[in-house]
Structure 1
């Protein structure tokens, strides 16, 4: 295959790095033509995720992949090992959508060789960019905080029961960041008493958070999974809802501003998670 996807990188002057693995909608034609109508709907996109976070922390670095998660999921283990054993989930190169429906026409699913090619061409460059940016930031500030930006539809019975809370924070049960980072995030979310916040529930932090979150080395990571009803309409054409979004953005801005302030003040330099 001749396609390639370079990650989109905005280098900032802050200890905060925003990762956005699921906002891309690019699909090579050679793959698009093999999707069925379910796959071509691209319904499981983190719609408007860049817009939701745009401008909340002007100096933050931002790393995005333009490729759609149906091509290759940049937040999955490259070895395709499930982080949620026994639970429904999707794979490195998904064969179904979040409702468990096939996304390929019969007989058009990728081979093992193709999966490896997609990993090498799309997944690996994205993570090389993240690793390089985290190291650059750590060298400059002595600490780096990777904030993994996600969103998802509020109701997906295949993945979880009932309606998802608005704010779903993941730190792999406190292992990927200093306790202060988790607490700042939780407190900012729970300041809005009109919505529900949970920590390390259905979403404990995906591969990105777990892979990079090594507080003992000065790199902290936390995942925020936001229910899409908090900022958009959850049906096609997936329109942005400014009134809802502005309220949610205020919470997210509070989180990022506080994390940056603590990192710049040196409060995270010697912090490590409870073991």
Structure 2
């Protein structure tokens, strides 16, 4: 049971959409597509309601909605990434943001904190400061206790249940990236980036199959650069224990006007293509995921 959060008094900050029967060992997760910005949060911010959405993975939950029809659970956030980022360690906190010193258990020195993108982000988009002034550390710890921890508890439970039922599990972490992303060598824009933490978070056959399937559909696909996967991919991906995690980044330029946050005419076609891609991905043979010895206890 989730703790009630004062910023979400009338609805859950996140949800798990379940098929009537989970038929496949896949779980999909959209942690950054939340579109509800609590009024109390907006009052804390110096950004307007438009600019504060710069880090949002707009409509990614809708792009991957067909996962449920295929027989897989889909977990998604309603809270925005600018408010709380569950794709971080629990306590990656920026000491410059708070009135009091960080607690001893916090990680205030990670690269993500230095970039303004900790568990409680300091920045959105291209470096816009979210908050007008410092605030109490208790506010950050409250968001972590009431939303972050229950989110990961639910995600961890559904993954454990999946592994117990099927003998292995596959987590697909779904994200979007700005249209400005380019290959440094050629200047080409990747349509998708597949991340597997440089081969450590899943069976190599899974990442290779995902890349090949998308390329066969005519998309430009990169592997691990510049996005190899965040905390979720790293934390849950344990291929030696038959738990695989893969990150998928979709270029927003394919489906979104990034100035107005409105869907482009190509949204529905991309949604259909992703549905076809997922249908093929979840049909991969079991030996892709089970032909790896269990890690020594």
Whether 1:261 and 2:283 are equivalent positions in the alignment is: yes
Match of 2:7 among 3, 9, 22: 3
Paired residue secondary structure (1:64): strand
SS in 1 for 2:249: strand
- The aligned counterpart of 1:246 is 269
Q: Pick one of 22, 29, 33 that aligns with 1:19.
A: 29
* SS of residue in 2 equivalent to 1:180: helix
Task: Return 5+ residue gaps in structure 1 as ranges.
Answer: none
- CA contact 1:6–1:125 (8 Å) conserved in 2: no
Counterparts of 1:56 and 1:139 in 2: how far apart (Å)? Answer: 20
Task: Considering Cα pairs closer than 8 Å and 6+ residues apart, tell me whether 1 or 2 has the greater RCO.
Answer: 1
Which stretch has the larger CA shift, 218-227 or 11-20?
11-20
Distance 1:272 1:196, change over 3 A: farther
Given the superposition, is the C-alpha separation of residues 180 and 110 from structure 1 closer, same or farther in structure 2, using an over 3 Å criterion? farther
Deviates more, 1:77-86 or 1:109-118: 77-86
Give the deviation of 1:134 after TM superposition: 0.5
Q: How far did 1:216 drift?
A: 1.4
TM-score between both structures, scaled by the size of structure 2 = 0.80
CA RMSD after TM alignment: 2.8
- 8 Å contact from structure 1 (residues 172, 204) kept in 2: yes
In the alignment, the residues of structure 1 paired with residue 146 and residue 30 of structure 2 have an alpha-carbon distance, to the nearest angstrom, of 17
Deviation at 1:242, TM superposition (A): 4.2
Query: Could you tell me which of 69, 84, 87 is aligned with 1:75?
Result: 87
Cα offset, 1:220, TM superposition: 0.4
Once the two structures are superposed, residues 19-61 of structure 1 have per-residue CA deviations (whole angstroms, 9 ceiling, x without a partner) of 0001112233222211123465322211111221122561110
Query: In terms of mean alpha carbon deviation, does 129-138 or 240-249 score higher?
Result: 240-249
Gapped runs of 5+ residues in structure 2? Answer: 93-106
Show the 5 A alignment for 1:98-177: 98-105=125-132, 107=133, 109-155=134-180, 164-177=189-202
Partner of 1:46: 57
CA–CA distance in structure 2, aligned partners of residues 125 and 267 of structure 1 = 31
Q: 3-state SS of the aligned residue for 1:79? A: coil
Q: What TM-score does the superposition give when structure 1 sets the normalisation length?
A: 0.85
Shift of 1:91: 1.6
Q: Secondary structure at the residue paired with 2:266?
A: helix
Distance apart, 1:247 and its partner CA: 3.9
Q: 2: distance between equivalents of 1:27 and 1:267?
A: 40
Tell me by how many angstroms 1:257 deviates: 2.2
**1:95 matched to 2:122:** yes
Q: Deviation at 1:163?
A: 6.8
CA contact (8 A) 1:7 1:125 kept: no
Post-superposition, which runs of at least 4 consecutive aligned residues in structure 1 deviate over 6 A? 160-163
